[in-house]
């Protein structure tokens, strides 16, 4: 399992990937599942409840 694939907060992702310009956040965030609150709430708060 790739432990670095999923981040609960975008800030954690950014801290580990300073090379990614914050201006790209809107493109990166949706694929960092969990950092996107809507998808996180859907997966953990709807599908698994």
Partner 1 sequence: MSIDEKLKIRDDLLAGRVPKRVFMQLTFTLEAACGLAGLDLKRAHFDEELRKKAMRSICETFYTDTYPIENIRFPAVYQALRAKNWVMSSTGAMQHPEIESFTPDDYEAYIKNPYATIMESILPKIFAGFDTDRAHASVNLAKAYSLLLQTFGQEGAFEAQVSQEFEYVTGFFVGALCEAPFDFLADQLRGFKGITMDVRRIPDLVEKAAEATLPLMLKLALPRKVNPGHIVFIPLHLAPFMRLPDFERLYWPTFEKLVSGISKAGGASFLFAEVDWTRYIDYLAKLPENTIIKFEDGDAKKIKTAIGGRHIIGGFFDPTITLTHSKEECIDEVKRLLEIGMPGGRFYFAFNRHVIDINSVDVKKLQAVCEYVKENAYY
Q: Which of 19, 24, 27, 47 binds partner 1 (CB under 8 A)?
A: 47
- Say which DSSP state 29 is in: G
Please give the Cα distance from 18 to 22 (Å, whole number): 8
- Is 20 or 37 the residue whose CB approaches partner 1 more closely? 37
- Beta carbons of 36 and 30 less than 8 angstroms apart: yes
Per-residue binder mask for partner 1 (CB under 8 A), 1-40, x = binder: xxx-xx-x------------------------xx--xxxx
Site residues (CB under 8 A) for partner 1? 1-3, 5-6, 8, 33-34, 37-49
């Amino acid at each position: 399992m790739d432990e670095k694939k999923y981040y609960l907060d975008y800030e954690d992702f950014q801290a580990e990937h300073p090379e990614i310009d914050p201006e790209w956040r809107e493109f990166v965030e949706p694929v960092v599942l969990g950092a996107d609150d809507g998808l996180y709430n859907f997966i953990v708060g709807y599908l698994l409840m």
